[in-house]
Amino acid sequence: MTTIGIIGSGNIGSALARALTAAGHAVVIANSRGPASLEPLVSELGNRARAGTVADASTAGPVVVVTVPLHAVSSIPAEPLAGRIVIDTNNYYPGRDGAIADLDAGRTTTSQLVAAHFSGARVVKAFNHIPARDILAHAAPTGTDDRRALAVYADDAEAREVVTRLIDEVGFDVVDGGPLADSWRIERDTPGYIPHFTAAQLREKLAEAERRPA
């Protein structure tokens, strides 16, 4: 059992808390509203979950999921996450996050921005192209026919492998997309974004992606 921090308790954060605890992991979940606001979720999840502060979730274990809106990432202190594997679930929505010129022009990726903020962390892009409801609904045992696949991107090979194992444990095949610089292939409005694809299908969709200004 691994203890995993989760910063953000919205749809994706809550779904991952449910999936990870069901897979046998412990979670420490935090949000901007404080631990008391998480009591209903923690009660539902049982003794593998506890609510905490952002600082608690940041230091709970070797893996921390950051699943807050892109514009809020900079509000999370970077130092406690140094050396840890940070799973970045982010997508860029200009109407929500404000215009970001480097993303609009295709000069960088959302995960590279996240990695620049958490400069001492080992950032892995994952879980950004699956709706929250599907994290539990589409999970299936290893070897299941037509098992859904998720893409991962990272500059750190060991961190990528750790996250690959976690994704398999919660019910999905994995497609290794390469470094964070290539993660634009699974950003918003690309062919692989959102639908259910097997690993072979997802590889095809990633290859079809064309980089265009946001």
* Spatial distance between the Cα atoms of 171 and 148, rounded to a whole number of angstroms: 8
Looking at residue 214, its pLDDT comes to: 61
* Spatial distance between the Cα atoms of 174 and 163, rounded to a whole number of angstroms: 9
**The pLDDT of residue 133 is above 90:** yes
Looking at residue 167, its pLDDT comes to: 98
pLDDT interval class at 212 (50, 70, 90): confident
Q: Tell me the CB-side half-sphere exposure of residue 1, using CA atoms within 13 A.
A: 12
Q: Which domains does the chain have, with CATH numbers?
A: 3-208 (3.40.50.720)
Beta bridge partners of 29: 6, 51
**The pLDDT of residue 97 is above 90:** yes
Looking at residue 188, its pLDDT comes to: 94
Tokens linked to 3:
């203890």
Terminal-to-terminal C-alpha distance of the chain: 40
Q: pLDDT tens for residues 33-73? A: 999 999 999 999 999 999 999 999 999 999 999 999 999 99
Helix ranges restricted to H, the chain: 11-22, 39-45, 54-58, 94-97, 101-104, 110-117, 132-137, 157-170, 199-208
Residue 72 exposed, middle or buried by CB count within 10 Å (0-12, 13-18, 19+): middle
Global pTM value: 0.96
Looking at residue 13, its pLDDT comes to: 98
